[in-house]
Amino acid sequence: MFDLFGGSRKKKMANAIRALVDDTLTSSESKKTFIQSAISRNGIPSTSDTMEIWIRSEISERMRTIGIEADHRSENYEMVVTAANIIAEKSRPEIHDELTRSWLADNINKTHKSQHGVFNDAYQDMVSVYKTQYANYSEFYKEAYAFSRIELASVLFLQGVITAKDLQLERELFNGFDEIVERDGGQDKSSKSEAFWFLMSYLQEEFNDNGLYYDMARSVLRYVLNGDITEGMVGTTCQSPLKVMKLLDALEDLGGGEDNFSPKDHCDSRGIYKSVLGE
C-alpha cells in the first residue's frame, strides 16, 4: 500500500511514515494513543473530515521532530495524506470512542468554592477524586492529571495557600512530571495539552476581562519549581487569584521564560509582590 512512496528522494520520508503507520496500527490501544495526541494538539474536530486533517497534522508534527519536513507545503505531502487516510480508515472505532468519551474536565466535578478562589477550587476538586478515580484513569489521563495538579500546586504556593513542604509532597506524589514542567512546560506532551484544557475549564472567563491570559503567563511557574521563587519571596500573606495572575503577567513581561531571567533579580526585601507590582 506504500508503493507510491518509492524513489530515492522520498525514501527516508517513506520509511519514516511507513514505520509510523505500522506502529500506530499495531493495536487498538496504540490507535487510541495516536488519536488522543492528535485531538489534544489540535482540539476536538467538528467532523470526520476535520479529524482526518488533525491526523495529517499529527503525522507532519511527528515527522518534524525527527528532522523531516512534511507539512502541507512539502513536495512530499501526498505521503502524509495517504498515511492519514489509512490510519483514519483502520481506526474508525477508536476515533468514534475518542470523540464521544469524557474528557478530564468532565470526569472531575466542580464542587469546591473556597475563600482562596478558583485555583484552590480546581485543586481541591482534583484532590477529591484522587483516591476514587485516579487509579482507573488511562496512562494518558494519569499524565494529564499529574501535570494539572503540579501546575495548580505551583500557583497555590505562589498565592501563599500552601507551603514549600506541601509543594514538595505534591512533587513526590507525581515524581518526574514536575521536572518536565520545570524544564520546558511539557509542551511536547499531548497530555500536557489535555491538562491545559482542563485548567481552562476553570479559568477561561476568570481573568480575561482584566486583560490577563493564563496561557500566556503560565510558563513563569517553572521558577517556582526550580527554586528561583522561594517561600521567603512569596511571604506569609495569602494573595487573591487576580493578584497572582497580575504577578505572573508582570514577570512574563519582564522576560520570564528567557534563559537569563531570574525572578530574584526583581525582588527586594519587600517580597516579590510589592517589588514587582508595587502594591
Q: What string of pLDDT tens digits covers the 279 residues of the chain?
A: 444 444 555 788 899 999 999 999 999 889 988 988 887 777 667 677 788 898 999 999 999 888 888 888 888 899 999 999 999 999 988 887 776 665 677 778 889 999 999 999 999 999 999 988 888 887 778 888 998 999 999 999 999 999 999 999 999 998 876 665 555 444 445 677 778 878 888 876 677 777 777 776 778 888 998 899 999 999 999 999 999 999 998 998 998 777 788 999 999 999 999 999 997
Question: Do 110 and 200 have their domain in common?
Answer: yes
* pLDDT score, position 122: 94
Count how many domains the chain has.
2
Do residues 28 and 72 both lie within one domain? yes
Is the same domain home to 111 and 86?
no
Are both 96 and 138 inside the same structural domain?
no
Q: What is the pLDDT of residue 72?
A: 83
Domain that holds residue 36: 3-100
CB 185 within 8 A of CB 223: no
C-alpha distance from residue 269 to each of 34, 57, 116, 262, 272 (Å): 50, 49, 25, 16, 8
257 CB-near residues (< 8 Å, 6+ apart): 219, 220
Boundary of a domain, candidates 100, 125, 152: 100
Q: Cα separation of 41 and 61, whole Å? A: 10
Among 77, 100, 123, the domain boundary falls at 100
Which is nearest to 266 in space by CA: 226, 155, 278, 181? 278
Whether residue 92 sits in one domain with residue 111? no
Identify the domain boundary among 73, 100, 127: 100
Between CA 175 and CA 192 the distance in angstroms is: 15
Place of cell 490507535: 31
Distances from the Cα of 57 to the Cα of 61, 107, 211, 266, angstroms = 6, 28, 31, 41
- pTM of the predicted model over 0.85: no
If we measure between CA atoms, which residue out of 214, 115, 138, 114 comes closest to residue 127? 114
Question: Using DSSP, how many helices (H) and how many strands (E) does the chain show?
Answer: 16, 0
Q: Do 96 and 111 have their domain in common?
A: no
Q: Are 95 and 189 in contact (CB under 8 A)?
A: no
113 in the same domain as 45: no
Residues 6+ apart with CB under 8 A from 75: none
Residues 7 and 142 both lie in one domain = no
pLDDT for residue 18: 93
Residues 224 and 246 in one domain: yes
Residues 113 and 225 in one domain: yes
Supply φ then ψ for residue 205, to 5 degrees. Answer: -105, 0
Shared domain check, 174 and 155: yes
pLDDT digits (tens, 9 = 90+) for 186-228: 444 567 777 887 888 887 667 777 777 777 677 888 899 889 9
For residue 4, the model assigns a pLDDT of 47
Instruction: Quote the cell numbers at residue 100.
Output: 464521544
108 and 84 part of one domain: no
SS (H, E, C) 168-197: HHHHHHCCCHHHHHHHHCCCCCHHHHHHHH
Q: pLDDT value at position 243?
A: 93
